[in-house]
Amino acid sequence: MKSIMTIRNALALSAALLFLGACATPGFEATHDYDDSVNFSSYRTFGWISTNPMRVGATTSMVSSLLEPRIMSSLERALVAKGYQYAKDPNNADFVLSFTVGARDELRVDSYPTMGGGYYGRGAWGGAYYGYGTETRVRQYTRGTLALDIFDVRQRRPVWHGVAEKKITSEDRDNQLATVEAAVTAIMAGFPPP
């Protein structure tokens, strides 16, 4: 009986740690949109829309020149893992990709009531006072975005769009490869569409 309780306690602790770990490092939020008239199951090969498929959208920071090849490699690995084959010549591909990166500074303003108190005056003529006020905290943070567009080569038009966004932390900046992988994983979870 004691070993069953120990196992239950260990499982409960493991579940709590996983939950806390997930809360401590939130992932990318992804949204997807697609043309439902397209038969995505017919796609077998992919390529890049150009030799430099990255566009830089609205951003408040410099974009590393190493970012484009990192995103390209991550997307290629994700698509190959899904069973697609890379076509070096985009004219020989079923679909081609381009992507946009961006970052913008945002403000978060939190305001909540506070209560303060103190003592005024001297001796018997003084007294306590209490008052209510408002405390406001302003935090600035950066929100990063990776948007992926997929174009049908034969029809020469966009057929799929995915966006991954996240509040970028200093850890994300220090581990750019892991951040890119997380963004690509979030986006590719919606491709191909059901």
* 60 within domain boundaries: yes
**How far apart are alpha carbons 41 and 94 in whole angstroms?**
11
Cis upstream peptide for 192 (omega within 30°)? yes
95 phi and psi angles, rounded to 5 deg: -145, 155
d(CA 194, CA 182): 21
- Residue 21 counted as domain residue: no
Which two three-digit tokens encode residue 61?
């920071």
Q: Is residue 17 part of a domain?
A: no
CA distance 175 to 59: 19
Reported as a single tens digit per residue, the pLDDT across 86-134 is: 999 999 999 999 999 987 665 555 566 766 656 556 656 655 555 666 6
Average pLDDT value over all residues in the chain: 79
- Which DSSP string corresponds to 86-146? E-SSGGGSSEEEEEEEEEEEEEEEEEEEEEEEEEESSGGG-EEEEEEEEEEEEEEEEEEEE
Q: Given this model, what pLDDT does residue 52 score?
A: 93
Residue 59 has pLDDT above 90, yes or no: no
Confidence at 180, pLDDT banded by 50, 70, 90: very high
Among 178, 145, 179, which residue's Cα sits nearest to residue 164?
Answer: 145
Identify whether the C-beta of residue 160 lies closer than 8 Å to the C-beta of residue 188: no
Q: Categorize the per-residue pLDDT at 81 as very low, low, confident or very high, splitting at 50, 70 and 90.
A: very high
The structural domain count of the chain equals: 1
- pTM of structure: 0.69
Domain containing residue 145:
27-120+139-188
Q: Is the pLDDT of residue 170 over 50?
A: yes
Q: Tell me, what CATH number does 50's domain have? A: 3.30.160.670
